[in-house]
C-alpha cells in the first residue's frame, strides 16, 4: 500500500509540475503578443515532432561539443564541411577530451527528406561523431545561425559547448564544461555585435528551447513588419560594451541584431536575466539592469585560472595575451578549400586529420 501511495503522490506531483510549466509558458507567450496580428507558428507534423525533446542518452557522455552542418541538399554544397567536423573531433580526441561531438545536420523547409550520402554518414560514425537531422521551423526570418537552437534540446548532456564548424581546438577544452559559475549561457562579446557566436556554452533545457523559439517567432524580423532598432526584441537596448572595451550606443542596430547573436543576447540578458561574457581581462555577469565583474585575469580564482588557461574568445588583450583554445578559420580562405602547408595554422589542421 505504501508503494502505491508513493506512486500516486509522484504521479500527482508530476501532473502539478506539468500544469505549472504549461501555465507559465502560456503566460510567457501572452506577454510576447503585442497585437492580434501575433500568432504562433503554422502547425506542421514535422515541426511538431521536432519540437519535442527526445533524450537519446544511449552511450552518451556527460558533456558534448555541438556544431551545425548544412543545409543538407541535393547540390551537396555542405560536403566539404564534413572534413572540418572530422578534424575538430580528431583534435579533441588527441588532446584527451572525454566529451561527445554532436553534429546538427540542418534541413531546409519542405526538404526534410534530404539526407547526406551514406558514405558521409559512415565517415561521421567511424570518427565517433554523433549526428542528428534537424528541420527548419516555419518561422520567417529563421536562418542558418538559428539551427544552433537545437543544442538546447539535448538534455542527455549536462553542458554543451557550441562551436562553429570552422574551428580547430588547440587544447582539451573540457575544463570549460566545469566552470565554477552557474549560468545557463556563457559566451563571448563581439567587436561589432553584442556576441561572437563562434563559441558559447549552454545548459540544455527543453523549456529554454521552447521559449527562445517563441521569442524568435513573436519578436523576430519578418515582413511586412520592419525591424524596430529602438525596441528590437521587445526591450530597449541600453549601452553595451564590445570586446575591445568600447561603449556602444547603437540600440538594436548592430551586426546580426536581428540574427541569432542578437536573439540569444536578448533572451538571456533581458528575459532569462542571466548572461555571462568573457572579456579580454574580465568575466562579466549581466542581468536585466545590472552588470557585475565576477572575475579578472590573474586574480587567482578557480574561474580565472580555467578561463585564461586557454581563452575561448577571439579578442584578447595585446599585453601578455593568454593561450588560445582554438583557431577560427574565418573568411573565405580555409585549409580544406586550398592546400597550403606553409601556413602554420593550416598545417595544424592537416595534422589533426
Per-10-residue mean pLDDT of the chain, 353 residues long, equals 57 48 63 62 60 78 96 89 97 98 91 89 97 83 88 96 97 97 96 96 94 86 72 93 96 94 96 97 90 96 97 92 95 90 93 90
How far apart CA 233 and CA 235 sit, in angstroms, is 6
The pLDDT value recorded for residue 24 is 63
The pLDDT value recorded for residue 288 is 74
Q: Provide CB contacts within 8 A for 191, sequence distance 6+.
A: 242, 243, 244, 315
Q: Where are the alpha helices (DSSP H) in 167-322?
A: 206-219, 260-266, 302-309
User: CATH fold of 36-167+333-353, please?
Assistant: Rossmann fold (3.40.50)
How far apart CA 69 and CA 78 sit, in angstroms, is 7
The pLDDT value recorded for residue 17 is 42
> Is 0.85 topped by the overall pTM?
yes
How far apart CA 52 and CA 23 sit, in angstroms, is 17
How many C-beta atoms surround the C-beta of residue 36 within 10 A? 6
Residue extent(s) of CATH 3.40.50 domains in the chain:
36-167+333-353
Radius of gyration of the chain (CA): 21
How far apart CA 98 and CA 62 sit, in angstroms, is 8
The pLDDT value recorded for residue 16 is 40
The pLDDT value recorded for residue 159 is 98
Amino acid at each position: 500500500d505504501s508503494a502505491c501511495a508513493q506512486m500516486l503522490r509522484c504521479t500527482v506531483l508530476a501532473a502539478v509540475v506539468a500544469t505549472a510549466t504549461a501555465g507559465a509558458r502560456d503566460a510567457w507567450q501572452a506577454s510576447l503578443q503585442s497585437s492580434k496580428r501575433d500568432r504562433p507558428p503554422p502547425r506542421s507534423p514535422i515541426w511538431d515532432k521536432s519540437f519535442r525533446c527526445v533524450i537519446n542518452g544511449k552511450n552518451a557522455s556527460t558533456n558534448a561539443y555541438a556544431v551545425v552542418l548544412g543545409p543538407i541538399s541535393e547540390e551537396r554544397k555542405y560536403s566539404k564541411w564534413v572534413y572540418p567536423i572530422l578534424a575538430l573531433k580528431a583534435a579533441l580526441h588527441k588532446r584527451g577530451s572525454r566529451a561527445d561531438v554532436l553534429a546538427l545536420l540542418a534541413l531546409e523547409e519542405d526538404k526534410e527528406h534530404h539526407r547526406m550520402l551514406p558514405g558521409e554518414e559512415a565517415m561521421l560514425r567511424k570518427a565517433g561523431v554523433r549526428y542528428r537531422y534537424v528541420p527548419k521551423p516555419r518561422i520567417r526570418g529563421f536562418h542558418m545561425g538559428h539551427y544552433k537552437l537545437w543544442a538546447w534540446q539535448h538534455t542527455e548532456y549536462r553542458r554543451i559547448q557550441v562551436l562553429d564548424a570552422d574551428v580547430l581546438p588547440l587544447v582539451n577544452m573540457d575544463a570549460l564544461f566545469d566552470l565554477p559559475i552557474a549560468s545557463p549561457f556563457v559566451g563571448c562579446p563581439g567587436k561589432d555585435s553584442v556576441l561572437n557566436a563562434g563559441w558559447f556554452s549552454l545548459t540544455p533545457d527543453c523549456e529554454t528551447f521552447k521559449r527562445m523559439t517563441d521569442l524568435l517567432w513573436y519578436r523576430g524580423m519578418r515582413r511586412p513588419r520592419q525591424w524596430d532598432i529602438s525596441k528590437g526584441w521587445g526591450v530597449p537596448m541600453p549601452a553595451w560594451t564590445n570586446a575591445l572595451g568600447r561603449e556602444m550606443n547603437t540600440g538594436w542596430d548592430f551586426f546580426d541584431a536581428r540574427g541569432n547573436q542578437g536573439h540569444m543576447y536578448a533572451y538571456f540578458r533581458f528575459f532569462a536575466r542571466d548572461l555571462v561574457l568573457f572579456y579580454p581581462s574580465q568575466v562579466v555577469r549581466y542581468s536585466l539592469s545590472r552588470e557585475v565583474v565576477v572575475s579578472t585575469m590573474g586574480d587567482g580564482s578557480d574561474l580565472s585560472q580555467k578561463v585564461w588557461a586557454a581563452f575561448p574568445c577571439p579578442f584578447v588583450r595585446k599585453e601578455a595575451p593568454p593561450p588560445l583554445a582554438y583557431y577560427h578559420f574565418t573568411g573565405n580562405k580555409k585549409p580544406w578549400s586550398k592546400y597550403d602547408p606553409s601556413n602554420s595554422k593550416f598545417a595544424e589542421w592537416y595534422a589533426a586529420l
